[in-house]
Amino acid sequence: MEYEAVKYVEGFVENIIFRNEDNGYTVFDITYNGEEVTCVGVLSYISAGEFIAAQGEFVKHPVYYMQFKIKSYEFRAPDDAKSVKRYLSSGAIKGIGEKMAENIVNKFGDDTFRIMEEEPERLAEIKGISIKKAMDIAAQLMDKRDVRRAMMFMQEFGISMKLANKIYTKYGQNIYTILKENPYRLADDIDGIGFKIADEIAAKAGIKVDSAFRIKSGIFYVLCQAAGQGHVYLPLDELESYVKSLLLIEFDNMESYIMDLAVDKKVVVKQSGDRKLVYAAIYYYMETSVARKLCDLDISYSCNDEEMEESIEKIEQRLNIELDEIQKEAVKKTVQNGLVVITGGPGTGKTTTINTIIRYFQMEGLDIRLAEPTGRAAKRMSETCGMEAQTIHRLLEISGGPQEDSNGSSFATNFDRNEENPLETDAIIVDEMSMVDISIMNSLLKAVAVGTRLILVGDTDQLPSVGAGNVLKDIIASGCFPVVRLEKIFRQAAESEIVINAHKINKGEPVVLNKYSKDFLFVRRETPDEIIAAICTLVKKKLPDYVGAGINEIQILTPSKKSATGSLRLNKIMQEYLNPPQAGKQEKVYGEVTFREGDKVMQIKNNYQTEWEKKSKYGVTYDAGSGVFNGDTGIITEINTFMEQMTVKFDDERIVKYDFKQLEELELAYAITVHKSQGSEYPAVVIPMYPGPRMLMNKNLLYTAVTRARKCVCMVGNENCFHQMAQNESEQRRYSSLDERIKEIYELDNAV
């Protein structure tokens, strides 16, 4: 074949080699003039057995040789007996094999395709085809035609193939009306389509900028965005300001639009003093549900004080420890109450207290479960407590992806443990409660039966949860449940400058940086480049031997992502320094990131379907499951370009194979933000000290970063930057109201 001269090919689709469902890019084979031709292009819809006519040109691929690059194309219905027979024999229509295809064509000849579309009942004239089957064949033909038409229609609005498939699956033939009249329904009904995508589609559909559909969709979008920043609700005046800023229009009657949304059960409006508070309905009902369950769990048990003292004394002797009075009080309260909160900073004996509670319950013959928000935290708790701790997700037994609410929006996660199938245990201890948001707390409490003791442990001074809500602080602020505050810093911890200075930071006391310390170090550098150069030396040459840990166990924590010393820039530099390119070391470029075998990476979104396994040193799988979560870190062990897969071994020994199209879920993790480090502990942390946005550079964030270090914290940069952070108490106000919901229910219960 003279490739340069060929500008047109046609033929039956023999085989689809590859298809990207996001953008429709497809590689497939056809037979043209007796030769197999590989075609590439962006196609709205295609399946094996179809006849395609395409214009374009041949291009030379460095690996796969000559390919026909499609510029324009059309699908043609088979118009003669031979073509129809080939089409039907391809498997394009389910239920028709080669023999039946031959029988159909022998009966109807060149008129076969018209008969199938216009008079399908006549197919029943053929032996082996019932009227039902005949109508099913006709329906399949019609569906293929309708799908293709719909896909090409949605292409006009700039909708990707992946989203187009979701949209068509949801709406079918109603898609034409919806896109022309109210595209904002897509943002409500379909996961992956937010307001901004719907707004772009609406603009192309000619929807007016002051349309009621647009304004109501904008309101709901702002509330959902606020939830992403930790808010459960927004005051009406702030909500109105944000919506107008988003839509870039002025409009009146904000309250009437909100009332419409309330009637549709999308929002809830509550009066608080002279302000109206507007909730996305799902979050209001989550807070109410959590409050109700917490009050139900708040049961008192009669216990003999002397017997409790004796039991505690036995445990002290067995563990060779000595509890102070507040720790003993914490243990007693967990015995006497169905719900207890234990809070305290580093070095105040939370782990010792937890261990004592575990041993006490075990002595009483009670079953106890331990839970943490993250895999790394669960692993650490297992080591310190001598029994298995699980992530909350694993404790609740994930059964799949997010559930949909009544509007089709994904909010909650599907767990096998719930009201109908509660956890079968006597007590549950949940650590690192500051990380738990209202959604996961709601799921957890659904699975805790009344009569099960629930002990919540955490440090209220750490950064709040990434998700919506302020669960731990609100539970304490309600004043309705037993709370034990551990404040004494124990002798061993008091010898640690990390612990001492963490408490000083928290209390607003001055921290001296120029004295010698074995575990709290400050390296003075001024410019970003000087800071990063010093960090490179510390991570690779100084700290590993100093703290007895591997390079990948030392974690750089930075306040921000995009600054001169942010995680994005640091990761690129650290990768080249710690894991440079090497012959035989495979790489995969994805967007602006190069992934390399040996790289340290982090999962940056929850994926409940991703499968994992754990293997013995002999390669035998001994455990398997699904679910990889935001914040999980691991090492790339293999990049297989042929299989288009990347293998990551996580810190807790889980092995996950990622398809290349999943790599958006991963990022390099030599440096991570402080927010991403919550719930984790590292042998050593390195923190760049360089000015950044005031809202980020605050005391709360500095305290959290310092308390992530187990053996050594090393700050590199400007002293003034450190002192400014330590003195900056401004942190973004979180709008949450779990404490109010608890008080409402508590008062009602006690009024009866």
Q: Which tens digits make up the pLDDT trace of 98-146? A: 888 889 989 998 888 888 888 989 999 998 889 988 898 888 888 877 8
Tokens 């459960």 — which residue?
Answer: 232
| Alpha helical stretches, state H, 643-729 | 699-706, 719-727
What is the rounded CA–CA span in Å between residue 52 and residue 41? 12
If 0-12 CB within 10 Å is exposed, 13-18 middle and 19+ buried, where does residue 349 land? buried
**Can you point out the beta strands (E) in 591-670?**
593-596, 600-603, 607-615, 621-628, 633-640, 645-650, 655-659, 666-668
What confidence score (pLDDT) does residue 409 get?
Answer: 38
Q: Which residue from 584, 606, 599 is spatially nearest to 662, judged by alpha carbons? A: 606
- Which tokens belong to 313? 């004394």
Element (DSSP H or E) covering residue 741: helix 738-751
* Identity of residue 690: Y
| Mean of pLDDT values over 292-313 | 94
576-596: average pLDDT: 93
Nearest to residue 383, comparing CAs of 355, 341, 350, 346? Answer: 355
Q: How far apart are CA 507 and CA 524, in angstroms?
A: 24
Residue 500 and residue 496: Cα distance in Å, rounded?
A: 6
* Token pair in block for residue 74: 């059309």
CA distance 56 to 608: 42
Find the helix or strand (DSSP H, E) in which 236 lies. helix 236-247
Q: What is the residue whose two structure tokens read 């639009």?
A: 257
Instruction: Give the Cα separation of 60 and 68 in Å (integer).
Output: 9
Q: What proportion of the chain, given as a percentage, has pLDDT over 90?
A: 56
Residue predicted with more confidence, 291 or 136: 291
- As to burial, measured by CB atoms within 10 angstroms (0-12 exposed, 13-18 middle, 19+ buried), residue 248 is exposed
Q: How confident is the model at residue 403 (pLDDT cuts 50, 70, 90)?
A: very low
Contacts of 71 (CB under 8 A, 6+ apart): 41, 54, 55, 56, 57
- 8-state DSSP, 160: -
Query: Which residue in the block uniquely carries the two structure tokens 């929850």?
Result: 606
Q: State how far the Cα of 136 lies from the Cα of 151, in Å rounded to an integer.
A: 22
Q: What distance in Å separates the CA atoms of residue 167 and residue 165, rounded to the nearest whole number? A: 5
pLDDT band at 77 (very low <50, low <70, confident <90, very high): confident
pLDDT at 389: 92
Please state, in angstroms and rounded to a whole number, the distance separating the CA atoms of residues 614 and 92: 40
Is there a contact between 510 and 504 (Cβ–Cβ < 8 Å)? yes
pLDDT beyond 50 at 406: no
CA–chain centroid gap for 193, Å, is 16
pTM here is 0.76
